[in-house]
């Protein structure tokens, strides 16, 4: 085994050990514990913040620049999906409404 392969194997095993330890940290302790209230409160907003950080740039940007035309199907589909969600509060309906607007504009008109 060459030095490079040994270094790669050591790195993989080390990363696996760190991953197993980090993921099982909560199961190792024998006594029950809970997060502080301020952390629990903050975790309520984490999914929304993560979703906004991923979705919003995908909707309003193209190749690192803000969308500068009104002929972008993503913007209209996002608005349609949001309207549907606030009207019916249905996740499946939100996806279907967004795609029902996106596909004709993107495929049909080439936006």
| Distance separating alpha carbons of residues 89 and 2, to the nearest angstrom | 58
Of the pLDDT bands very low, low, confident and very high (cuts 50, 70, 90), residue 35 is: confident
- pLDDT band per the 50, 70, 90 thresholds, residue 81: very high
| DSSP 8-state symbol, 65 | E
For residues 39-55, give the mean pLDDT: 89
The whole-number average pLDDT for the span 62-72 is 88
Burial of 77 (0-12, 13-18, 19+ CB in 10 A): buried
| pLDDT for the residue numbered 20 | 92
| Contacting residues for 90 by C-beta, under 8 A, at least 6 apart | 84
With bands split at pLDDT 50, 70 and 90, how would you rate the model's confidence at 19?
Answer: very high
Query: What integer pLDDT is reported at residue 27 of this predicted model?
Result: 77
The token pair at 88 is 């019916």
């Amino acid at each position: 085994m060459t030095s490079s392969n040994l270094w790669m194997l050591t790195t993989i095993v080390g990363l696996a050990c760190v991953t197993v330890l980090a993921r099982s940290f909560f199961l190792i302790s024998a006594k029950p514990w809970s997060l502080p209230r301020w952390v629990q409160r903050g975790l309520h907003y984490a999914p929304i913040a993560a979703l906004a950080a991923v979705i919003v740039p995908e909707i309003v940007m193209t190749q690192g620049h803000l969308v500068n035309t009104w002929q972008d199907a993503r913007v209209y589909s996002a608005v349609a999906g949001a309207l549907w969600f606030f009207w019916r509060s249905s996740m499946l309906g939100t996806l279907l409404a967004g795609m029902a607007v996106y596909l004709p504009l993107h495929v049909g008109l080439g936006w």
